[in-house]
A and B are shown apart, each in its own frame.
Chain A
């Protein structure tokens, strides 16, 4: 025991002796200062007030393969929401099959984390979930989490299909999926055939304001036998 302490003491003294020596080695050096490019001055940028349907980035989504017999399950199905009194529109807009980006086609939920939940009636093998938050303007919705479950309260048997909440703001666990810019072709989430009756989509505001919007959510799956 005493011998071990002795070695530790020697090592500590050695490190202490080395520390100033390292400093002495750096004494004749300095950080290389590299001039970085300065910003370019430019006049007033474009003012945007009117909606448009143009995409900013990305290519058109390629074909997404699903098993034969896959059908749209969500059309006209009941929708629940964390915001019982939406600011604009009704939760029924989420599954009414109308995907226009104009005013009058979306439901606006309040600020902070909110969710909408689609009940497709029975447990199905889910093949695709497509969501249009708000596509008349290029914006990004934060903390998008898509979960499916047979439990309407999402307490048990919850499968997370998509999660881009990288810092766990929503408290549903940190996700590694990327944020994305809303476009008119919607965002497709792949549930990989997991069986569920309820689909819940979370979001926590967007890059244009703190509100949460849904134009449409479509849930595709194989009909339950």
Chain B
């Protein structure tokens, strides 16, 4: 492949990724988790306050990296922020991920890099969660940065790449405490690679040249002690910077260590998020509900399997490295196994090992293209690959634009129903007709899991109170008679009886199975 062709096609992949990630970012109602993050970010935006919470919310990078986006949009308060501004942050990192694939050059053949970038651009999973205001896409981006800079370092052993790798690792840790699993996965992959290569060295007589391992024309080097110390220093400094809220909260660093314990506790007691070991692969392989379309990334899984098997051989393409591919293979297998064995599962948690699948699938696609020298065979392979890529793109479109909140969509998880937006509209209408306008009193009476994303959608209202039981809410009379009461279905009867006949009552869907009851005071 010529450089020009590579550049042109890679640019097409980038443009595709940008379109899939940035168009109509507000098409889906805010998810419970997104609203949580957004309101938390509001404190940082409005008051410059951020304190790491070791029990929830993961790491601080998402909030700090949203600051430039909010400021670029000219917003200084949560009330002025829109979903699109917030979601633009993961979208940007989701599209930027493709550029990081360029760091794999020398490890991944040009054709494989291109195929991996195209797969990442149209991947339903990567696209859907790149449009989701949570930490996962950032974590995947920093993981790819660590893999890429680590590979560059292994090739050149330069101080700069050691520092970049350290900062990337630090950013991973500052994004999600579960990055510990990924660090363990990277270490395990390195161990497995060393083991496999030492066996091969004995059997096949591949020699080492000085400090370098030699594998065909690919030389990779182990880090020097000084560089390793620099890597660690950069990682720790990055972690310290973010978790201490840029030295405003010194306890944050200790809290980040405590958070690891909380995460492990959650992993062991998954509650409503307990899913079988094959949950992630089931989502990717095949999903269909009555009357709905088929969802499947089996094409990507097939290519990843082909690319993974090929990684165990010698052929990595003219400019690829079996060592790099094996490392990715081992990392993917180990982390996929770890995530699958942990009972606590949410679909976005699969993204880190999904990145490995995408890289391997890129290698698989390139392998199929070079399997024969005959042009006719290549055309036939392309005839299979192109519809496969197109099918993924179509599924991506369906997942992110056509059915972004449909429970039949396998990437949808505890998503807010579009019907909920009707509740918000009804509250807006009531406020528009009320003399107090947006300062009318709103009482929300619902358990916390049935409260979100109300705080996000009610962010422009002046007087909103949240109670978790009807008794406390109804006993609170200091602010006057509420114009609007939003109650969970379980409290609707009690709240309705207490409010009396002066209120209209209507139900709206928060999520499947979770209706909320809206009481609006009738006009005089």
- Asked if A40 and B515 sit within 8 Å, CB to CB, the answer is no
Give the docked Cα–Cα distance between A48 and B449 (Å).
Answer: 13
Docked-complex contact B419 and A208, CB < 8 angstroms = yes
Residues of B within 8 A of A103 (CB): 290-291
In the complex the two chains form, is A56's CB within 8 Å of B463's CB?
Answer: no
Shortest CB distance B278–A (Å): 16
Q: How far is the CA of A45 from the CA of B478 in the complex (A)?
A: 32
CB-based nearest B residue for A167: B504
Which of B32-40, B99-107, B212-220 makes up part of the contact surface? B32-40
Residue contact B514 to A138, C-beta cutoff 8 Å:
yes
Q: Which residue of chain B has the shortest Cβ distance to A179 in the bound complex?
A: B507
> Counting CB contacts under 8 A, is B296 at the interface?
no
Per-residue CB contact flags for chain B residues 436-462 toward chain A (1 = under 8 Å, else 0) read 000000001000111110110000000
The residues of B that contact A206 with a CB separation of less than 8 Å are 419, 509
Bound complex: CA A208 to CA B508 (Å): 8
Q: Which of B120-128, B224-232, B464-472 contacts A (4 or more CB under 8 A)?
A: B464-472
Assess the A56–B490 pair: CB atoms within 8 A. Answer: yes
- Report chain A residues within 8 Å CB of B448: 39-42
Complex Cα–Cα for A57 and B515 (A)? 11
Cβ of B515 and Cβ of A139 under 8 Å apart?
A: yes
Check A166/B508 contact, CB under 8 A, given A39-B454, A41-B57, A208-B419: no
Q: In the complex the two chains form, is A44's CB within 8 Å of B346's CB?
A: yes
| Binary B-proximity of A83-124 (CB < 8 A = 1, otherwise 0) | 000011000000000000001000000000000000000000
**B506 contacts the other chain (CB 8 A):** yes
Return chain B residues, CB-CB under 8 Å to A66: none
For residue A178, CB closer than 8 A to chain B, the reply is yes
Cα-based distance from A209 to B420 in the complex (angstroms)? 11
Contact with A along B488-524 (1 / 0, CB 8 A): 0110110010000000111111011111000000000
Q: Are A48 and B490 in contact (CB under 8 A)?
A: no
Contact of B512 among A36, A43, A208 (CB under 8 A): A208
Q: Report how far A43 CA is from B451 CA in the complex, Å.
A: 11
* Contact between B489 and A57, CB atoms less than 8 A apart: yes
**A interface residues with partner B (beta carbon < 8 Å):** 32, 34, 36-49, 52, 56-58, 87-88, 103, 137-140, 142, 166-167, 178-179, 181, 206-209
DSSP majority for the A interface? loop
> In the complex, which residues of chain B have a beta carbon less than 8 angstroms from the beta carbon of A56?
489-490, 513, 515
Closest to A87 in B: B291
How far apart are the CA atoms of A103 and B449 in the complex, in Å? Answer: 28
Interface contact B505-A41, CB-CB below 8 Å: no
A137 to B496, CA, bound (A): 23
Once the chains are docked, how many angstroms separate the CA of A111 from the CA of B32? 27
Contacts of B407 in A (CB 8 A): 48-49
Of B57, B455, B511, B515, which is within 8 A of A48 by CB? B511
- Say whether B5 faces chain A, with CB atoms less than 8 Å apart: no
Do the beta carbons of B466 and A57 come within 8 Å of each other? no
Q: Which listed residue (B40, B490, B493, B511) contacts A41, Cβ 8 A?
A: B40
Interface size on B, residues (CB 8 A): 53
CA A45 – CA B449 in complex, angstroms? Answer: 6
B410's nearest neighbour on chain A, judged by CB, is: A49
Q: Does B251 contact A (CB under 8 A)?
A: no
B451 and A40: CB pair below 8 A?
yes
Write the chain A residue with the least CB distance to B444. Answer: A39
Closest to B516 in A: A207
Residue ID in chain A nearest B413 by CB atoms: A47
Select from chain A the residue with minimum beta-carbon distance to B271: A46
A58 partner, pick from B291, B455, B493, B511, beta carbons under 8 A: B493
B168 within 8 A of A: no
Closest to B446 in A: A39
Residues of B within 8 A of A47 (CB): 272-273, 346, 413-414
Q: List 10 A-B contacts (CB under 8 A).
A: A36-B465, A39-B455, A41-B57, A42-B36, A45-B32, A49-B289, A57-B489, A57-B490, A140-B507, A166-B504
Which of these, A45, A46, A167, A207, contacts B419 with CB under 8 Å?
A: A207
Residues of B within 8 A of A139 (CB): 509, 512-513, 515
Give residues 69-108 of B contacting A (CB, 8 Å): none
Further contacts, 11 of them, CB under 8 A, given A45-B272, A56-B490, A206-B419? A39-B455, A40-B451, A40-B466, A40-B468, A42-B56, A46-B414, A49-B512, A57-B493, A178-B496, A181-B515, A209-B419
Which B403-455 residues have a C-beta within 8 angstroms of A?
407-408, 413-414, 417, 419, 444, 448-452, 454-455
Tell me whether B479 is interfacial, beta carbon within 8 Å: yes
Question: Which residues does chain A contribute within 8 Å of B465, judged by CB atoms?
Answer: 36-37
Instruction: Give chain B residues whose Cβ lies under 8 Å from the Cβ of A46.
Output: 272-273, 414, 449
Closest to B465 in A: A36
Asked if A207 and B289 make an inter-chain contact with CB atoms under 8 angstroms apart, the answer reads: no
Complex interface: chain B residues within 8 A of A178 (CB): 496, 505
- The interface residues of chain A lying within 8 Å CB-to-CB of B463 are 36
Q: Chain B residues near A181 (CB, 8 Å)? A: 489, 507, 515
Contact with A along B137-168 (1 / 0, CB 8 A): 00000000000000000000000000000000
CB-defined contacts of A140 to chain B, threshold 8 Å: 507, 509, 515
Distance between A143 CB and nearest chain B CB, rounded to angstroms: 10
- Tell whether, in the assembled complex, residue A88 and residue B515 are in contact, meaning their CB atoms are under 8 Å apart: no
Q: How far does the alpha carbon of A86 sit from the alpha carbon of B513 in the complex, in Å? A: 24
- Minimum CB–CB distance from B497 to chain A (whole Å) comes to 11
Q: Which residues of B contact A58 (CB under 8 A)?
A: 493
Which residues on the A side are within 8 Å of B40 (C-beta)?
41
Rounded to whole angstroms, the CA-CA distance of A47 and B508 in the bound complex is 18
A45 touches B490 (CB 8 A): no
Evaluate contact between A39 and B451: CB separation under 8 angstroms: yes
Bitwise interface map of B from 48 to 65 toward A, beta carbon under 8 Å scored 1, else 0: 000001001100000000
- Bound form: Cα–Cα A37–B36 in Å: 16
Interfacial residues of chain B within 198-246, with CB under 8 A of chain A in the complex? none
How far does the alpha carbon of A87 sit from the alpha carbon of B57 in the complex, in Å? 42
Q: Which of B289, B408, B504 has the most CB of A within 10 A?
A: B504
Q: Across the interface, do A44 and B413 meet the contact criterion of CB distance under 8 Å? A: yes
Please state if B479 and A36 are interface contacts (CB–CB under 8 Å): yes
Q: A47-B413, A140-B515, A208-B419 are in contact. Are A36 and B464 (CB under 8 A)?
A: yes
